[in-house]
């Protein structure tokens, strides 16, 4: 496993700490989604367990083989509970019991908590003492793209490593090497807000086709050429977080166009219909609709039992209020 080309400085920073025996036991990996924080965390976790003498995991020693088989007894991957979608206190209590024991086959024990912002309050409080006073060679890597959602008490006990979006030329060069057809990379990078791993995901999921279908039916509705039911039906076929992300990006662009800022429009391929929509509402009305979109996204992120159709219907009713048809 190798780090991604835009992660060199972060890797060198940690390797310098490691060589000086000053590696923090609690690291907080922060940055937008899609830049490879989770991938970096796993490569670094493997390097801490690896028997090799180089700074990269060798991939061939017993530790690496166990790690790559997802069967390493000294590696702990803490994720949200599938039912509640949060990391619960019972998971952290069990982790504390596990890492209090001597390492099984390695000189270290490594924990990845991802996404760390999904620790519920009790779980976060239970983790605090371990972050302050880790036992032995225990290293805890917390990963998040929502730093403000993480309790300040957790943040203050970790060394933060920032993972910004890579520059466009480096991202484009890397993606060109990953893809057979590079023609859509500039547009996809815009739509992914510069996150290269999201571009790969978009291509795998035929993102541009799906996005066009959802936009076309909504645009037709704003022109009285489609029904409310048709829009709801089309939008409800996609996972709700992605539908809301589409609509959020359209609202951002409509607001930018309204402010005469077409240069920074994300959805450049549909700029003309977005410009038409911008003429149907005031800037204040567009900001209210954007705020409603963000409210819907927060609700989806924090809720377990969702009725996605009701959320979509509510947002569309709001959009009809703020955008004249």
Q: pLDDT tens across 247-293, in order?
A: 999 999 999 999 999 999 999 999 999 999 999 999 999 999 999 99
User: Any idea how long the chain is?
Assistant: 325
CATH number of the domain bearing residue 152: 3.40.50.300
Apex 46 CA angle, 192 and 117, nearest 5: 50
State whether 60 and 158 are in the same domain.
Answer: yes
Q: What is the DSSP letter of 257?
A: H
Half-sphere exposure of 308 (CA within 13 A, CB side): 14
Residue 257 lies in a domain: yes
Structure tokens at 19: 């060589």
> What stretches of the chain show up as alpha helix (H) in DSSP?
8-19, 37-49, 62-68, 89-99, 121-132, 152-155, 168-178, 185-191, 196-204, 207-222, 228-235, 240-258, 271-278, 283-302, 308-322
One-letter-per-residue 3-state SS of 78-121: ECCCCCCCCECHHHHHHHHHHHCCCCCCCCCEEEEECCHHHECH
Q: What percent of the chain has pLDDT over 70?
A: 99
Inter-CA distances, 177 with 163, 166, 182, 185, 207, Å: 22, 16, 9, 11, 20
Question: In this structure, are 155 and 39 located in the same domain?
Answer: yes
Check if the beta carbon of residue 89 is closer than 8 Å to that of residue 80: no
Question: Is 186 among the domain residues?
Answer: no
Instruction: Give the pLDDT confidence score for residue 112 in this predicted structure.
Output: 98
Helix axis angle for 168-178 and 196-204, nearest 10°, is 40
Do 139 and 216 belong together in one domain?
Answer: no
Which structure tokens are listed for 24?
Answer: 């923090």
The CATH number given to whatever domain includes residue 288 is 1.20.272.10
Q: What is the pTM of this model?
A: 0.89
Q: Is residue 30 within 8 Å of residue 145, measured between CB atoms?
A: yes
Residue with tokens 């996404």: 115
By three-state DSSP, how is residue 317 classified? helix
Is the pLDDT score of 108 beyond 70?
yes
Residues 28-76 have pLDDT tens digits of 999 999 999 999 999 999 999 999 878 899 999 999 999 999 999 999 9
The number of distinct structural domains making up the chain is 2
Query: Where does a domain end: 134, 164, 194?
Result: 164
Instruction: Tell me: do 156 and 31 sit in the same domain.
Output: yes
Same domain, 21 and 99: yes
Q: Which structural domain, as residue segments, surrounds residue 63?
A: 5-164
Query: Is residue 172 a part of any domain in this protein?
Result: no
In a domain, 148, yes or no: yes
- The residue-averaged pLDDT of 202-207 equals 94
133: confidence class by pLDDT, cuts 50, 70, 90: confident
Q: Judge if 151 and 19 occupy the same domain.
A: yes
Q: Is residue 272 part of a domain?
A: yes
262, part of any domain? yes
Indicate if 210 and 261 belong to the same structural domain: yes
Say whether both 261 and 114 belong to one domain: no
Strands 26-30 and 75-78: unpaired
Do both 132 and 52 map to the same domain?
Answer: yes
Same domain flag for 26 and 145: yes
Average pLDDT for 156-165: 97
């Amino acid at each position: 496993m190798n780090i991604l080309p835009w992660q060199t400085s972060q890797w060198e920073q940690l390797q310098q700490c490691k060589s000086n025996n000053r590696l923090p036991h609690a690291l907080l990996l922060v940055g937008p989604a899609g830049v490879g924080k989770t991938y970096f965390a796993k490569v670094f976790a493997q390097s801490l367990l690896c028997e090799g003498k180089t700074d990269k995991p060798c991939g061939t020693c017993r530790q690496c083989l166990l790690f790559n088989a997802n069967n390493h007894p000294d590696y702990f991957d803490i994720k949200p509970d599938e039912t509640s979608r949060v990391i619960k206190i019972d998971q952290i209590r069990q982790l504390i019991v596990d890492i209090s024991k001597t390492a099984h086959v390695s000189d270290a024990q490594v924990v990845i908590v991802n996404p760390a912002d999904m620790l519920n309050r009790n779980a976060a409080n239970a983790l605090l003492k371990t972050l302050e006073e880790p036992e032995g060679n225990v290293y805890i890597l917390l990963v998040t793209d929502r730093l403000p959602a993480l309790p300040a008490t957790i943040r203050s006990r970790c060394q933060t490593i920032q993972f910004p979006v890579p520059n466009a030329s480096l991202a484009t060069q890397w993606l060109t090497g990953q893809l057979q057809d590079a023609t859509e990379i500039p547009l996809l990078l815009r739509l992914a807000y510069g996150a290269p791993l999201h571009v790969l995901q978009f291509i795998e999921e035929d993102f541009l086709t799906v996005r066009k279908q959802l936009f076309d039916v909504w645009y037709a509705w704003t022109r009285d050429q489609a029904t409310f039911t048709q829009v709801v039906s089309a939008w409800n076929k996609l996972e709700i977080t992605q539908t809301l992300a589409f609509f959020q990006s359209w609202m951002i662009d409509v607001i930018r166009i309204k402010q005469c800022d077409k240069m920074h429009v994300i959805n450049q391929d549909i700029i003309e219909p977005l410009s038409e929509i911008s003429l149907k509402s005031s800037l204040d009305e567009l900001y209210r609709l954007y705020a409603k979109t963000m409210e819907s996204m927060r609700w989806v992120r924090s809720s377990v039992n969702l009725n996605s159709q009701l959320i979509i219907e509510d947002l569309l009713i709001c959009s009809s209020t703020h955008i004249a048809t």
